[in-house]
Structure formats: C-alpha cells, structure tokens
Amino acid sequence: DVKVTQSSRYLVKRTGEKVFLECVQDMDHENMFWYRQDPGLGLRLIYFSYDVKMKEKGDIPEGYSVSREKKERFSLILESASTNQTSMYLCASSLGGDQNIQYFGAGTRLSVL
Amino acid sequence: DQQVKQNSPSLSVQEGRISILNCDYTNSMFDYFLWYKKYPAEGPTFLISISSIKDKNEDGRFTVFLNKSAKHLSLHIVPSQPGDSAVYFCAASGGGNTPLVFGKGTRLSVIA
C-alpha cells in the first residue's frame, strides 16, 4: 500500500512565524503535491514537484515556498504565517502516467492565531 | 475559470437508494477522470476512474458514467449506505505529470 505521511495532524502557530509542513512518501513516486482545502473552495494546488530539486507553482503559491531535496520528501514552508493561511493542508504523491492517480496523506490542520 | 465543476454542493439520499453525483468539465484534452472520497479530518482516497475511451466503469456498488459529447460524468452508488456519507471530489487528468484538476466537491449524506 502507498503511504503518504504528514508529520503533524494539528498545528497551532502565531502570526509571523515560519512554519514547516513535512511530507514523506514510501512508494518511490516521482511527483509530489501540496494542496489546501477550505470549505466551499475544494482542493487548491499550492505547489508541485515532478523531480528532486524541481518545483512548479500551482494555483495559489503566494505566501508559500517548497523544498524537495530527496525524492521521498516534500516540504511546504510558510515564510511568515498569516491568519488567512489557517486551513487543512494535504500532501499527495503520484507515479504519473495516464491516470496519474494521486495518493494523499491524512492532512495537517493548521491554525494561525 | 473552473475546468471541473461539481454544481451540487450537497446531496441527501435515503439508505438503500441510489446516489448520483455529477461532474462537468470544459477541457476536451482531459484523458482520465477520477473520483475521490474524503471523510472529515482525513485525506481524500481514490475511489474509481474512467478513461476517455470508455463510457462506463464499474467497481462493486460504484459505477462511473462518462458522456464525452456532453463533457459530463456521474458517479452512481447503489445501494447507498450510511458509511458512504463523505465529500466526493471529481478530478480530471491530462496524463503524464500534470496535476489533477479537482472540482469543489459534493457532500453526500446517506440517511438511515
């Protein structure tokens, strides 16, 4: 079974803090993704990566950066957390190919106070 | 501009009846369509998919229908069970390494 592990289920941070969200997958997948989910807005893509040290902006990259130093690990960084970044953050990985099925982690519920 | 649309934010169905969740798309380059199911405080899980060369795919109680000319797909759940209560996301793939494009989701409530 594919396993995508997000380091924290719940996080509470202060405005202005630098926040790191970590994601690890164990299936040697090429592609990794970060989304946020908000009520009524569905899943919105923040950043994705299709190879080590590669990154591509998604639909809402502002206020975020990412790091992929190893194939299995993809980190999302909030440079200076703001209250409008309070959300559920979801990491996913995929092998690519035709169907491009993405496998998701359990999510990190981040609250910025 | 939304390329994948789920126009019903919520749906309520009696246990044992059929649930039909709908999805429309605008990009004719999409090759595969996927459905995901999401429970609260969990990540989405892959449910079923269909290739653009097919018009139907079945897996147990779940069937996905694709109408390419109408750019419309639907997920049928028969019979519906209380454990099916979740948010369902429709997604489309252009293949390769391109990210999936997700709809906003439909919350299904199956009432016992």
Express as a percent the part of chain A with pLDDT over 90: 86
Q: pLDDT, tens digit, for every residue of B50-99?
A: 999 999 999 999 999 999 999 999 999 999 999 999 999 999 988 777 88
Contact A4, A101 (CB under 8 A): no
Give mean pLDDT, residues A56-66: 96
- The neighbouring-strand residues paired with A108 are A89
Q: Which residues of A touch B44 (CB under 8 A)?
A: 43, 90, 104
A107:B42 CB<8 A: yes
pLDDT of B106: 97
Give the closest-approach CA distance of B66 to chain A in angstroms.
15
User: Would residue A106 be called left, alpha or beta, if left means φ above 0 and alpha means ψ between -120 and 50 degrees?
Assistant: alpha
**Residue among A50, A58, A106 minimizing CB distance to B97:** A50
A100:B32 CB<8 A: yes
Give the closest-approach CA distance of A107 to chain B in angstroms.
6
Is the CB of residue A39 less than 8 Å away from at least one CB of chain B? Answer: no
Radius of gyration over every alpha carbon of chain B, rounded to an integer in angstroms:
13
pLDDT for A65 beyond 90:
yes
pLDDT for A96 beyond 90:
no
List of E strands, chain B? 4-5, 10-14, 19-25, 32-38, 45-51, 56-59, 62-67, 72-77, 86-93, 101-102, 106-111
Is the CB of residue A34 less than 8 Å away from at least one CB of chain B? Answer: no
Of A9-23, A77-91, A93-107, B61-75, minimum mean pLDDT range:
A93-107
A36: nearest CA in chain B? B43
Beta strands across the sheet bearing A4-6: A4-6, A19-25, A73-78, A64-70
pLDDT for B1 beyond 90:
no
Q: How confident is the model at residue A104 (pLDDT cuts 50, 70, 90)?
A: very high
pLDDT for A72 beyond 80:
yes
Matching residue, tokens 């209560």: B85
Is the CB of residue A97 less than 8 Å away from at least one CB of chain B? Answer: yes
Q: Which residue, among A23, A36, A100, would best test binding to B if mutated, counting the most B CBs under 10 Å from its CB? A: A100
Is the CB of residue A90 less than 8 Å away from at least one CB of chain B? Answer: yes
A99:B49 CB<8 A: yes
